[in-house]
A and B are shown apart, each in its own frame.
Chain A
Amino acid sequence: MTTMTGKAIGGGARYVDERLTSANFIRRSMNKVFPDHWSFMIGEIALYSFIILLLTGVYLMLFFDATAREVIYNGSYVPLKGVPMSEAYSSTLHISFDVRGGLIMRQIHHWAALLFVSSIVVHMMRVFFTGAFRKPREINWLIGVGLMVLGLLEGFAGYSLPDDLLSGTGLRIAYSVGQSVPVVGTWSTFLLFGGNFPGESIIGRLYVVHILLVPGILLALITAHMMILWYQKHTQFRGPGRTEENVVGSRMYPSYAAKGGGFFFLVFGVVAALGGLAQINPVWMYGPFNPSQVSAGAQPDWYIGFLEGSLRLTPGWEFRAFGHTIPLNILIPGVVLPGIMFGLLALYPFLEAAFTKDKAQHHLLDRPRDKPVRTSLGVMSLTFYFVLWIMGANDIAAHLFRISLNLTTYMGQVALFLLPPLMYAITYRICIGLQRSDHEVLVHGVETGTVHRLPSGEYIEVHAPVQESQLVLSPVEPDHPERIEGERGPRALVSSAGRAVGSFFVAKKKDTSVPADQRERDDDTLTKR
């Protein structure tokens, strides 16, 4: 650092410090250690796509007019000229065709929204399968579940704003789902829509939900999520020198800041490329919403697909008694089932802690194979979700594979109950098998590829004992106390391929066990008051 920049930074820092006393805090923050693992970047993708959504969303707000007032379209998209439509739909066309760069902003916004929800879901899977939700991180898990549900809501609200035929059909279904709730259903949907569907109010109200209410809550929850993460410090995988009491990785400044900042631009770059090159939600092809029209093969955005599937799979059950109707064919798949799914998801950390009687704090992550029950439960739940999701597109599947539409529904109904337990059993078996093979390597050593012929004529392969640096101590499983990484064989090939990809972002794994006497403590540690 030259003296010039040093002076400039020093001057600026002094100015801030004399007003905020920030030097200690800033130094500690810059020294903060973040563990490196590719799977820890998935949550970052969610954060970065949220930033992209805010940037592009503010731009779109400047042009979008969320009113249901009917206008006659007179923009540059010729096929719809002279067609009566809502101002909302017309202004969406205006953004897409008459604002320079408007279409790419709209498409970046939509792609970023898909990436936002996707990365939240994958991040959540990472947290689940590695046990990162365990004490003391249950609160952040709950915030995360809240973020995911709000992300779905936010996506659905935004996707409904253009008031095109496709999204209007989605709103119509949402209205029916709201109506199906006993006692308060009719009343609450009338409140929300300001009357019978579609009414004049819903687009304007969804707009407020989409640009103010939900993003405000999302922003607050993301801030809380990050502050808790910062305060509790990140979890890490087992490895030499990594314990429950420390964090091993790179410092916030400069290494992590440069990599994380660079990663933001990579994510933004991918979304920008998608927004420019891959068409998404071409609302002008669907036409304005009209309750008497619908297009065949209509699909919602992917994250609503599981609800679409559950609505398609439920048989025509309806309960009528005492002058009231309870449409179970909507209530169960549209309200009860998602309620149970999200409820179980939110409660899982507490259920697992209760069943395993585990009250300890955990900062080291589990490998999924070491927790076969949790891993199998996760795969089972994902299978259930996946069947629903696929069935949200059963008409596409029927068309693609040239089978009867009705058959796909029956298959889905069977698969929904058959596949999850089957996947539980298979996953459990795979976990146990992987554990055994780990144990095998531990007891007999690593295959060296050197084959010897004994005087008796027998061939043997020489096994080298596992080096200490390859041992990963596991305090939770006394029967398999040690785990190995870096052995040869097909699995090692797979993992080295993963490392090659991951090594673009993170340094190669290496022995980080630092002898205790070499560890230097920062002055913070020494100044105990």
Chain B
Amino acid sequence: MSTHDSAGGESLTGNTSASAPGDTGRPAKRTSAKSPTGPEDVGPRADKRSERLVATCFGVSSLAAIAFLVVFWALPKTDVAYTPLLGVCLAVSLFGVGVGAILWAKKIMPDEEAVQERHPMYSTPEDAAKTAAVFAEGTEKTGFARRRLLRYSFLGAMGTLALPIVPIISDLGVHPRGNARQLKTSPWKKGDRLTTEEGAPVRIGDLEYGGILTVFPNGNTSPSNSLAPTVLIRLRAGENQPRPGRETWEVDGHVAYSAICTHAGCPAKLYEQQTHHMLCPCHQSTFLVTEHCRPIFGPAARPLPQLPLALDNEGFFVAGAAYQEPLGPSFWERS
């Protein structure tokens, strides 16, 4: 590597070389008699055996690679065994090379252990001083320290060069002013019909007691309208304990709440009929449906926003009004 190379040549510490015991040409094999791996590897017969073993590994690898081709072309790709067989063939061919190479290193190559000196991880004070002097001399020649006009105009130009980046970056998204407004705007307007995922409007009787249905405004199920999903739940008469001022928001025991969790924005729709708990599967925020969906467990801090309900003149459920508060997770400009 180049850094190593230049440092080795420049710093002249000179102790970057490997030194191995024995003669310089070929490092001595350091297989001691007490080493359990040593003795079995010596001798011409053992040597041959090792060679055959390594060659077998490489041979198996080649065979597996050919088998990979056979599977790849001969087997239909819809076969259940297609991908597993490809994996096995590829793995065996890779393992063959890997095990072979390691056995080669262990059984055939001399078992040497080399010692190398480290070079010190600092420059001599003289070297450091020389470098500092060269830098100081160069800086002096530029006049950067002396010529104030040059210095300030240069730094100023570098600073103003950063300005064009700002509009380029900021145009990646919507303008900051619009953001909060977009997040605060209710995706439901007064009179929007509650429609199912298939687009069918909903009327009284479509839901059993304890039933839950995901509804969208006027059939708009587009994923881009990600804050719109709402749940319609039918409670038994008298079960709902509305907030003061929201007594008229339910229609015949039906209530509607935003499905988007006020914590991190997952759909919180796991409804438990018996307890009237609504659970978000992401972080387990739990909301109590009968008490205006206030959070009773987990990380959510706010109730699920409620959608006022009404019936249109054909008897279908509609939004009695838009949502009265921003939907989904909290954000800086929320309130």
Contact = CB atoms under 8 A, between A and B. Distances in A.
Interface of A: 24-25, 28-29, 31-33, 76, 97-98, 100-101, 103-104, 107, 136, 169, 172-173, 175-177, 179-183, 185-187, 190-200, 227, 230-233, 241, 244-251, 254-255, 258-259, 261-270, 272-277, 289-298, 308, 311-318, 320, 323-327, 329-330, 333, 361, 363, 394-395, 405-406, 409, 503-505, 507-508, 510-512, 514, 518-529
Nearest to A405: B284
Interface string B250-261: 000000000110
B46 interface: no
Contact of A172 (B8, B264, B302): B264
Contacts of A409: 284, 297-298
Contacts of A525: 14-17, 19, 117
A520 B21 contact: yes
A198 B223 contact: yes
B199 interface: no
A272 B333 contact: no
B88 interface: yes
Contacts of B264: 172-173, 176-177, 311, 330
B18 interface: yes
A289 B325 CA distance: 26
Contacts of A308: 283
Q: Is the interface of B mostly helix, strand, loop or mixed?
A: loop
A318 B112 contact: no
26 contacts: A25-B2, A101-B77, A107-B83, A173-B266, A185-B331, A231-B3, A259-B101, A262-B104, A263-B98, A267-B98, A268-B94, A269-B91, A294-B267, A316-B301, A325-B331, A325-B334, A327-B331, A329-B263, A330-B330, A394-B284, A409-B297, A508-B35, A510-B32, A510-B113, A525-B14, A529-B12
B60 to A, nearest CB: 12
Given A245-B117, A247-B118, A276-B91, 14 more contacts: A31-B114, A172-B264, A179-B330, A195-B173, A195-B174, A251-B18, A259-B102, A266-B94, A269-B92, A312-B299, A318-B301, A325-B334, A329-B301, A520-B22
B319 interface: no
A519 B21 contact: yes
Contacts, number: 353
B191 interface: no
A186 B120 CA distance: 51
Contact of A512 (B91, B115, B332): B115
A11 B79 CA distance: 51
B1 interface: yes
Given A250-B113, A276-B84, A311-B299, A231 B7 contact: yes
Contacts of B176: 186-187, 190
A330 B331 CA distance: 10
B40 to A, nearest CB: 13
Contacts of B77: 97-98, 100-101
Contacts of B90: 104, 269, 272-273, 275-276
A414 B15 CA distance: 56
B180 A276 contact: no
Question: What are the 6 A-B residue pairs with the smallest beta carbon separation, nearest first?
Answer: A276-B87, A262-B101, A265-B98, A522-B17, A292-B229, A318-B301
A505 B183 contact: no
B281 A395 contact: yes
Contact of B83 (A29, A276, A320, A522): A276
Contact of A246 (B2, B83, B109, B115): B115
Contact of A258 (B102, B266, B300, B332): B102
A312 B264 CA distance: 10
B113 A289 contact: no
A179 B229 CA distance: 20
B98 A266 contact: yes
